[in-house]
């Protein structure tokens, strides 16, 4: 056998192993009519809220709609004995008495009766203790946000929220982590085809084709629709189709941006271990302005953990090979008369420890999501001023200040007015604790 000298010339043709994920535009027929329960009793001195809604498919359009369930009698049963009633603050939003808060080691159970008399009851949830968060680090990364998610198009810069906690060894722990981002908002209201009015208006004259309104003493603090063309008679100059007027805030105002992913963890494999640098979320790099982040760590019951981890698995999947097949999730609320009725959502109780982190964004590189603006006319990209970046990040358009009214207002001071910072789940006029100026 002669020695072998193998010389192989390799010609590699072009390889395009294209595994692609495309956004789909499908509209499958939907048929749901299901009650959704969302409630968690915490140990924090803040409003304890239970929300009820009905997710229902519109029988005509076939699209999902969400309707608040109003006028329900909602109560929380503490330790199987004490019954505490909730009152409805806004539609579908039921609040426990303002001095009420949960306590570790006690059980909570939700009971509610719909206006038609149907009764629902949750399982008992025992509030577990939660260890304190040892450390939170926010680390800037140009690829923090997952690729191809469609949240902010292809924008991926953001902060990874890394958390350290020492898991207690003497018990089974289930965690859920959430973050809230407080960004300063300078623009409090935008009016589409309309104008912001602090006070109500009354039409006093429409002759000759000139509309005159009188400012009333009653407050409006809302958008006033541009008068209909019919009021003008034949002398109407049409408004631009995209007339959106934006108004700066009267007081300081903060937008509260919640986490958009579910992050849960169980110490099944690491009981008593130190959980270090756990990535519990990604905060998009919306603006260059400093911001405040609150990271919350809640304890969960085993069942609630199981529910949220399945919800996470089903909704944050990658479509690929290792995804578990989606299946109906069973919550812990049941119709007392008809156990076959499926109810979505979970009522649970959890202790919370939280950390507030001042995000000065000095380590950020690249451009913030709201940082530059492409001017279609000049065909250049221009920097967005700091006070407009959050607005631009959310609307992908710069705020336009009201410049022209096609009617006359008597009284009411100079225009444009400032707008009220209306408190809600996503906005507050109250300076958040930990905010630095």
Site string for another protein, 345-364 (x = CB under 8 A): x-------------------
22 binds another protein (CB under 8 A): yes
Residue of 273, 366, 383, 385 interacting with another protein (CB under 8 A): 273
Residue 208: is the preceding peptide bond cis (ω within 30°)?
A: yes
Would you give the DSSP letter of residue 123? P
Interatomic CA distance for residues 361 and 312, integer angstroms: 29
CB of 356 to another protein, least distance (A): 21
- Mention every residue, 6+ apart, whose C-beta is less than 8 A from residue 238: 229
Residue 378 interacts with another protein (CB under 8 A)?
Answer: no
**99 binding another protein? (CB under 8 A):** no
Binding another protein (rule: CB under 8 A), the pick from 60, 230, 325, 414 is: 325
Q: Give the residue carrying structure tokens 């009016």.
A: 191
* Residue closest to 196 by CA, chosen among 427, 389, 413: 413
In the set 220, 226, 311, 352, which binds another protein (CB under 8 A)? 311
Give strand ranges (E) for 167-260.
Answer: 174-184, 187-192, 194-205, 212-225, 244-248, 254-258
DSSP at 424: B
In the complex, the smallest distance separating the C-beta of residue 15 from another protein, rounded to whole angstroms, is 5
Q: Any contact of residue 118 with another protein (CB under 8 A)?
A: no
Part of the chain binding another protein (CB under 8 A), chosen from 41-49, 116-124, 316-324, 412-420 = 316-324
Environment class of 168 (CB within 10 Å of its CB; exposed 0-12, middle 13-18, buried 19+)? middle
First to last CA, the chain: 84
Cα–Cα distance, 280 to 261 (Å, whole number): 9
Under DSSP, is residue 229 helix (H, G, I), strand (E, B) or coil? helix
414 binds another protein (CB under 8 A): no
Applying CB under 8 A, does 314 fall inside the site for another protein?
Answer: yes
- Tell the smallest beta-carbon distance from residue 131 to another protein (Å): 14
Find, among 104, 266, 108, 96, the residue nearest to 177 by Cα. 266
Residue 77 Cβ vs another protein, minimum distance, rounded to whole Å? 21
Phi first, then psi: what are they for 427, rounded to 5°? Answer: -155, 145
Q: Scanning residues 393 to 412, which ones bind another protein (CB under 8 A)?
A: none
Stretch that binds another protein, among 121-129, 233-241, 270-278, 375-383 (CB under 8 A): 270-278
15 binds another protein (CB under 8 A): yes
Q: How far is the CB of 300 from another protein (least distance, A)?
A: 13
* Contact pick of 330, 335, 354, 406 for another protein (by CB under 8 A): 330
> What DSSP string runs through 70-84?
-S-EEEEEETTTEEE
Provide, rounded to whole angstroms, the least separation between the CB of residue 278 and another protein. Answer: 5
Q: Which is nearer to another protein, 230 or 325 (CB)?
A: 325
* Gap between the Cα atoms of 393 and 390, Å rounded: 5
Residue 436 within binding range of another protein, rule CB under 8 A:
no
User: Per-residue string for binding with another protein, 208-237, x by CB under 8 A?
Assistant: ------------------------------
Contact segment (CB under 8 A) with another protein among 210-218, 272-280, 351-359, 365-373 equals 272-280
Choices 9-17, 205-213, 287-295, 416-424 (CB under 8 A): range interacting with another protein? 9-17
Our finding on whether 317 is near another protein (CB under 8 A) is yes
Closest separation in Å from C-beta 350 to another protein? 13
Tell me: does residue 83 bind another protein (CB under 8 A): no
- Alpha-carbon distance 128 to 267, whole Å? 14
Torsion of CA 35, 36, 40, 46, to 10 degrees: -100
Least CB distance from residue 270 to another protein, whole Å? 4
Binding mask 143-182 for another protein (x = CB under 8 A): ----x-xxx---------------x---------------
Q: Which member of 26, 60, 230, 378 binds another protein (CB under 8 A)?
A: 26
Phi/psi class of residue 132: alpha, beta or left (left: φ > 0; alpha: ψ in -120 to 50)? Answer: beta
Options 69, 136, 249, 344; binder of another protein; rule CB under 8 A? 344
How far, in Å, CA of 430 to CA of 189, rounded?
17
Least distance CB 65 / another protein (angstroms): 9
Nearest to 427 by CA among 275, 254, 285, 296: 254
Nearest residue to 291 (alpha-carbon basis) of 185, 406, 135? 185
Q: How many other CB atoms sit within 10 Å of the CB of residue 113?
A: 16
Q: Which secondary-structure segment (H or E) carries 237? A: none
Number of residues that bind another protein (CB under 8 A): 83
């Amino acid at each position: 056998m002669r020695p072998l000298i193998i010389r192989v010339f390799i010609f590699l043709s072009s390889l395009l192993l294209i595994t692609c994920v495309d956004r789909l535009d499908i509209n499958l027929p939907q048929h749901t009519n299901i009650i959704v329960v969302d409630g968690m009793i915490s140990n924090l001195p803040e409003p304890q809220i239970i929300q009820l809604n009905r997710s229902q498919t519109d029988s005509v359009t076939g699209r999902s709609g969400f309707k608040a369930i109003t006028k329900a009698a909602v109560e929380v049963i503490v330790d199987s004995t004490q019954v505490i009633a909730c009152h409805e603050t806004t539609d579908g939003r039921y609040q426990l008495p303002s001095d009420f808060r949960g306590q570790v080691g006690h059980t909570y159970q939700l009971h509610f009766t719909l206006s038609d008399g149907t009764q629902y009851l949750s399982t008992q949830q025992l509030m577990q203790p939660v260890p304190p968060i040892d450390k939170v680090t926010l680390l800037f990364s140009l690829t923090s946000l997952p690729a191809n998610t469609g949240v902010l198009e292809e924008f991926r810069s953001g902060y990874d929220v890394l958390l350290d906690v020492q898991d207690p060894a003497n018990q089974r722990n289930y965690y859920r982590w959430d973050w809230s981002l407080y960004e300063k908002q300078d623009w409090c209201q935008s009016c589409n085809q309309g104008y912001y009015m602090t006070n109500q208006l009354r039409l006093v004259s429409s002759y000759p084709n000139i509309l005159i309104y009188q400012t009333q003493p009653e407050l409006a603090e809302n958008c006033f629709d541009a008068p209909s063309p019919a009021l003008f008679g034949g002398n109407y100059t049409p408004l631009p189709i995209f007339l959106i007027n934006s108004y700066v805030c009267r007081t300081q105002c903060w937008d509260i941006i919640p986490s958009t992913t579910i992050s849960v963890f169980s110490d099944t494999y690491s009981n008593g271990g130190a959980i270090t640098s756990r990535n519990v979320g990604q905060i998009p790099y919306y603006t260059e302005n400093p911001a405040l982040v609150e990271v919350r760590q809640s304890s969960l019951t085993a069942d609630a953990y199981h529910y949220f981890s399945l919800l996470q698995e089903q909704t944050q999947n990658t479509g690929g090979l290792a995804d578990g097949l989606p299946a109906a999730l069973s919550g812990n609320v049941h119709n007392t008369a008809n156990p076959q009725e499926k109810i979505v959502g979970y009522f649970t109780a959890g202790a919370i420890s939280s950390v507030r982190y001042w995000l000065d964004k000095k380590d950020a590189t690249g451009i913030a999501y709201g940082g530059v603006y492409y001017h279609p006319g000049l065909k250049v990209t221009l920097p967005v001023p700091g006070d407009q970046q959050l607005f631009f990040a959310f609307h992908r358009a710069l705020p336009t200040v009201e410049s022209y009214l096609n009617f006359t207002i008597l009284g009411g001071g100079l225009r444009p007015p400032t707008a009220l910072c209306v408190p809600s789940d996503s906005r507050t006029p109250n300076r958040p604790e930990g905010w630095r100026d």
